[in-house]
Amino acid sequence: MKVLVSGGAGYIGSHTVRELKNSGYDVVVLDTLELGHAEAVAGTRLIKGSITDAALVEEVFMEEKPQAVMDFAAYKAAGESVGNPLKYFHNNVGGPVNLLEAMVRHEVPYYIFSSSCSVFGTPHNLPASETNNPFGPESPYGESKLTVEKMLGWVDKAYNLRYAALRYFNAAGASLDGTIGEDWTHTYNLVPLVLKAALGLTPSVKVFGTDYPTPDGSAVRDYIHVVDLAQAHVKALEYLMRTNTSNAFNLGTGQGSSVKEVIDTAIRVSQRDIQVELVGRRPGDPAAIWADASKAERELGWKAQYDLETIIQTAWNWHSQHPHGFDQE
């Protein structure tokens, strides 16, 4: 079975490409390489281009004849999306429209969508399940993900095109063998920022808020290993083929870790001192978010395997050996 993976040379996409190939799937990647790296999918057919290019998307479907699509080709910086919402809607909504139109024309039945817990905004109830919180995106990025999810429901009804919307919590870590990982050039995620400070590439890491109603006063998030996420995508495709039923799933570990816990773990793993700068809360940052992933465990047969220690250890292995990402100096 051939799977088209858009955005497959990026962080989560490249780990998923590896899991798909390990599971016996034929894979073709479509990626602009704006934020992805050809080296991350070495040995895999790679087509350079954007899903916003409808003519190119049609050409890819004509030539490659995929039988399923996994879509990772979104911009994902929530802060940037507030200042440039049209960039996000053009790519994150317009691109999936092009993919789905091609899938309908070529009768491709399965679509795995890279969604986000940002569709909920700040959850009112924790742990956050698929149904115990209203949708309430707080950025154009989150709104773009929710827009596609809503669109998929209508597409399913009209064309019998089955989808799985996978709502990630906080992806982190790197491949277990240390050969691929996150490009931290453009990242604002906590784990790479902490490890940058551990390597002395930045003077310190900022802790935004120390007075939250959490055990240690710092914000709590659900950090999930990128390999666990990648494996969930394979499970989701198998679910669609087995059940022929569309669905949405929250993907997390089911427990939260505080900013201070992440820093303490990074100090222990790296055996480096990490300078910390305590600053005030950022507007819009919730005190705590973590997932109820029991639906994914029940219906996909998937459960996160890797803990925070493994997340930090694999990220440290990658970043300490590749401080300049895939482009070594």
Give SS3 for 44. coil
Tokens of 251: 């993907």
Torsion angles phi and psi, residue 152, rounded to 5: -60, -35
Q: Which helix (H) or strand (E) holds 46?
A: strand 45-48
Give the C-alpha distances (Å, rounded to integers) separating 53 from 11, 120, 169, 190, 201: 22, 30, 29, 33, 37
Q: Which residue has the tokens 């914000």?
A: 219
Number of helices (H) and strands (E), helices first, in the chain? Answer: 11, 13
Annotated catalytic residue 239: no
**Angle at CA of residue 214, ends 208 and 216, nearest 5°:** 70
Q: Which helix (H) or strand (E) holds 166?
A: strand 162-168
- Are 27 and 7 spatial neighbours (Cβ–Cβ below 8 Å)? no
Torsion angles phi and psi, residue 277, rounded to 5: -110, 115
Strand 257-258 and strand 220-221: the pairing is antiparallel
Half-sphere CA count of 329, side-chain side, radius 13 A: 2
Catalytic residue among 141, 163, 168, 212: 141
Residue 225: alpha-carbon gap to chain centroid: 10
Contacts of 56 (CB under 8 A, 6+ apart): 30, 47, 49, 50
- Are 70 and 210 spatial neighbours (Cβ–Cβ below 8 Å)? no
Contacts of 136 (CB under 8 A, 6+ apart): 120, 121, 122
Active site residues: 141
